[in-house]
Amino acid sequence: MFSGCYSLTTIDIPNSVTSIGQQAFYECRSLATVNIPNTVTNIGDEVFSGCYSLTNINIPNSVTFISEGTFSGCSNLTTINIPNSVTSIGEGAFCCSGLTNINIPNSVTSIGSYAFGGTRLTTVNIPYSVSIIGNSAFSECFSLNEVYCYSTTPPECNDEGYAHPTFLDYSATLHVPAASLAAYFTAPVWSKFENIVGDAVAPTGIAISRDSVEIQSGEEIELTATVTPANASCKDVTWYSTDTSVATVEDGVVTAIGYGECDIFAYCMGMPAVCHITVSNRISLGQQEAMLLPNHMLTLTPTAPVMPNDFTATSSDPTVAAVRVMNGKVQVVGIKEGTTTITVGSTDGTATPAICLVTVYTEPGDVNCDGYSTINDVTLMIDYLLGGGSTNIKIENADVNGDGKVSVIDITNLIDLLLSGDS
């Protein structure tokens, strides 16, 4: 297909593709980014072999088998997450000289010959599901110093008659389940390890600190992943974003890039945890709540990371407060006591709306609830005390001094307020 195409740097495989043929991108030396959709179920032999510039690859969870030599010679590939759909890893599949971290899921039952040969792995975790390991699978891994094997029964291995042993020189420390120490101590190949320790505790689960989060473009948040049980021997976590054009992730730090939605996955030995990310162009009003007197105006200034052409504004109860947009500002006018939700959106639908809860209230002395204390309020209070039958007042506000009753003293206090200019 594109084999030997040195100018190819990025490839987005369409969703219509279900299989990638043998050596499809063989020695595409400039290929740095590949997006494989989860419609792909089969990746042929040596598909990405010799792609020196490839630094990151997502294997979709629709793939069940990693073929022979799939990523051999991808020298700049340092970390690979194998999805928990994969059951078998083929011969020489990950012979990547720069590979320092590999996440083998609990779904894998067999690891092919020289599958990880020549890598820079320092630690390898072999899940309890693995029953067969091919000859020279971890040969020439000169940095390997810790091997964790979680199967209670030693996986089948064979070094006899092969030029390279399965685990180089067996100087690494082998960690196995405590109850299986004797089994590994006497098993073919495994008994060659100089140091065998019965302290391997398999991880059983993983969780992310948040299930979902909405952030703005350019914003960063940090997610944490917790592996259980607390004494699990492997707590290595790899992170992955389903759409790096929306958000990227590195060591749990998520950076919003563009608008849209994606999932951030954390994996430990193939066990996934997910956080749904929404990157929005959310409108901000600078405040989420406000207090307002009747016949008074509140001005809100809407902003957004990418400003829309125009804004819309609505009041959930226009009898409490009226709202309009004027010259890019949102003007709210109090009408009567109560609460209403002011919602500000964009006319073109490009921004996520913002809300502000507005409470319209009145103060002591404002007995007619028009938002002001005036001589008219004094007249209404006198009318009320003289038994004039006025009911167009708020009794609570007529109690200016707050002693629980309306009296001449309240009228005097209101007059003092009016004369002092503090009303």
Please write the tens of the pLDDT for every residue from 7-37: 788 888 888 999 999 999 999 999 988 888 8
- Per-residue pLDDT tens for 394-412? 999 999 999 989 899 999 9
Residue 63 scores a pLDDT above 80: yes
Pairing of strands 271-280, 238-241: unpaired
Q: Poorest-confidence range of 12-16, 46-50, 368-372?
A: 12-16
Q: So what's the pLDDT on residue 291? A: 97
For the chain, the residue count is 423
- Per-residue pLDDT tens for 214-243? 998 889 999 999 999 999 999 989 888 888
Instruction: Give me the mean pLDDT over the 85-108 stretch.
Output: 93
99 within 8 A of 78, measured Cβ to Cβ:
yes
Instruction: Give me the mean pLDDT over the 117-132 stretch.
Output: 95
- CA 326 to chain CA centroid, nearest Å: 37
Extract the tokens encoding 109.
């039952």
Q: So what's the pLDDT on residue 305? A: 85
269 within 8 A of 103, measured Cβ to Cβ:
yes
247 within 8 A of 277, measured Cβ to Cβ:
yes
Closest to 66 in 3D by CA, of 99, 109, 31, 30: 109
* pLDDT band for position 390 (cuts 50, 70, 90): low
Residue 91 sits at the vertex; the CA angle it makes with 161 and 105, to the nearest 5 degrees, is: 120
- Per-residue pLDDT tens for 104-124? 999 999 999 999 999 999 999
Q: So what's the pLDDT on residue 1? A: 57
Q: Which domains does the chain have, with CATH numbers?
A: 205-280 (2.60.40.1080), 289-360 (2.60.40.1080), 375-420 (no CATH)
**b/e code 33-57 from CB counts within 10 Å (16+ = b):** ebbbeeebeebebbbbbbbbbbeeb
Pairing of strands 260-268, 238-241: antiparallel
Instruction: Give me the mean pLDDT over the 271-282 stretch.
Output: 93
Q: Quick one: what percent of the chain has pLDDT higher than 70?
A: 97
Helix axes 408-420, 375-385, angle to 10 degrees: 170
Q: So what's the pLDDT on residue 3? A: 58
Q: So what's the pLDDT on residue 5? A: 66
Mean pLDDT of the chain: 92
* pLDDT band for position 344 (cuts 50, 70, 90): very high
The residues near 25 (Cβ < 8 Å, ≥ 6 apart) are: 1, 2, 3, 5, 8, 11, 31, 34, 47, 48, 51
Q: Taking the CA atoms of the chain, what radius of gyration do you get in angstroms?
A: 35
* pLDDT band for position 294 (cuts 50, 70, 90): very high
The residues near 324 (Cβ < 8 Å, ≥ 6 apart) are: 313, 330, 331
Residue 421 scores a pLDDT above 80: no
Residue 386 scores a pLDDT above 90: no
DSSP H or E run through 147: strand 146-149
The residues near 322 (Cβ < 8 Å, ≥ 6 apart) are: 315, 332, 333, 335
Extract the tokens encoding 347.
């006319």
Q: So what's the pLDDT on residue 103? A: 86
DSSP H or E run through 380: helix 375-385
